[in-house]
């Protein structure tokens, strides 16, 4: 079943056209990767889904419902969690407070949810009283993902979770992402790190200058000449 559908999306920042005719489908339970160079429009796509940016054309449908006119806090309420680019944790709140903010719209006991996040990221439990700003880059990324999970999302949007992290830490984060999928959460993953994203994803879209230029099974793209040349650092640069 299709959980998320982007139809003919066009998004502008003033005169700059960041997205044009973007069509993306994400089915329940999938990991879908969104690849592309810097400035291709990946972040804009995620921001449009979560209501932080408004399309001038096209629509965003989530679970059969149009959501592109809703404000971000309502989109979160419908079940879309967003771990934004650059992590954006609350640096002066403790790890636990950060997680609690992620569940801001939900009331009642959060104990089970925090425990679920802690079991995915045991290091966050150790550091739960520490200020977010004092965590390492990898731990901050984990906190950002954990905070997005606290809204109990059906769809998780991850914007470059590997950005600026050491290879070993990236490894850990990617393996946790596949753990998260096993719990039934659908994932739309934005990455510049194409090799690792394609290894993890079921399907992928490639964006160039705000347009989708390729869309296929991850395995197929991994063997595609153009993808290998442009995004996997092989052949002529």
Partner 1 sequence: MTLSGAAASTLPGAQAPPQGPVTGQPRLSWLRRLMGSEDARRLLSCVLGLLVLAVMTGPEGSASAPLSGFTGSLFHLRALVFIGLGFVLWAVITLRRRFGERARQASDWVSSAPRRLVTNRQARYGIYLALLAFAVVYPMVLSQFWQNVLVDQIGIYVLLALGLNVVVGYAGLLDLGYIAFYALGAYSAAYWTGALAVHPPITLNPFWAIPLAILAAMLAGVVLGAPTLRLRGDYLAIVTLGFGEIIQIVATNLQGVTGGASGPASVIPHFSVHVLGVHYRWGLADLPYYYLLLGFVVIVLVVFHSLENSRVGRAWTAIREDEIAAESAGINVLKYKVLAFSIGASTSGFAGMLWASQVGYIDSTLFTVQLSILVLVLVIFGGMGSLPGAVVGAAVLQWFPWFLRVHPLFGFQQQDLFIYLGALLIVMMIFRPEGLLPSRRRKREIGLAEHGIGTADAMSEPGGEP
For residue 92, the minimal CB distance to partner 1 (Å) is 5
Task: Figure out which of the listed residues 12, 20, 28, 72 binds partner 1, where binding follows CB under 8 A.
Answer: 72
Residues at the site binding ligand ADP, with contacts judged by CB under 6 A: 13, 16, 18, 36, 38-44
Establish if 43 lies at the interface with Mg ion (CB under 5 A). yes
Residues 31-60 that bind partner 1 (CB under 8 A): 38, 50, 52
Site size toward Mg ion, by CB under 5 A: 2
Nearer to partner 1, 91 or 122 (CB): 91
- Of the candidates 28, 42, 27, which has an alpha carbon nearest to the alpha carbon of residue 194? 42
Would you state the torsion angle of the CA atoms of residues 179, 79, 88, 113, taken in this order, to the nearest 10 degrees? -60
Nearer to Mg ion, 43 or 162 (CB): 43
Q: Are 25 and 34 in contact (CB under 8 A)?
A: no
- Of the candidates 108, 116, 176, 115, which has an alpha carbon nearest to the alpha carbon of residue 141? 176
Q: Which residues contact 109 (CB under 8 A, 6 or more apart)?
A: none
Task: Figure out which of the listed residues 2, 66, 69, 91 binds partner 1, where binding follows CB under 8 A.
Answer: 91
Packing angle of the helix pair 137-149, 111-120 (nearest 10 deg): 140
- Of the candidates 208, 198, 196, which has an alpha carbon nearest to the alpha carbon of residue 168? 196
Task: Figure out which of the listed residues 25, 131, 202, 216 binds partner 1, where binding follows CB under 8 A.
Answer: 131
Q: What is the contact surface with partner 1 in residues (CB under 8 A)? A: 38, 50, 52, 71-73, 76-77, 82, 84-86, 88-93, 97, 100-102, 104-105, 131, 133-134, 147-148, 151, 163-164
């Amino acid at each position: 079943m299709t959980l998320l559908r982007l139809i003919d999306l066009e998004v502008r920042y003033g005169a700059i056209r960041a997205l044009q005719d973007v069509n993306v489908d994400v089915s329940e339970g999938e990991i879908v990767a969104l690849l592309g160079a810097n400035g291709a429009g990946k972040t804009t796509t995620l921001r449009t889904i979560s209501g932080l940016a408004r399309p001038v054309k096209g629509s965003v449908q989530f679970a059969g419902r149009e959501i592109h006119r809703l404000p971000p806090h309502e989109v979160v309420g419908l079940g879309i969690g967003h771990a934004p680019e650059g992590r954006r944790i609350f640096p002066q709140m403790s790890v636990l407070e950060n997680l609690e903010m992620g569940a801001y719209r939900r009331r009642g006991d959060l104990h089970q949810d925090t425990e679920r996040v802690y079991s995915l990221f045991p290091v966050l439990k150790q550091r739960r009283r520490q200020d977010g700003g004092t965590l390492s880059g990898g731990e901050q990324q984990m906190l950002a993902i954990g905070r997005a999970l606290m809204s109990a999302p059906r769809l998780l949007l991850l914007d470059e979770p590997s950005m600026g992290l050491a290879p070993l830490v990236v490894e850990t984060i990617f393996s946790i992402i596949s753990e998260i999928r096993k719990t039934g959460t659908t994932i739309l993953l934005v990455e510049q790190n194409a090799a690792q994203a394609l290894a993890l994803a079921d399907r992928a879209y490639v964006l160039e200058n705000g347009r989708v230029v390729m869309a296929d099974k991850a395995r197929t793209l991994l063997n595609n000449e153009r993808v290998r040349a442009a995004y996997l650092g092989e052949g002529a640069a």
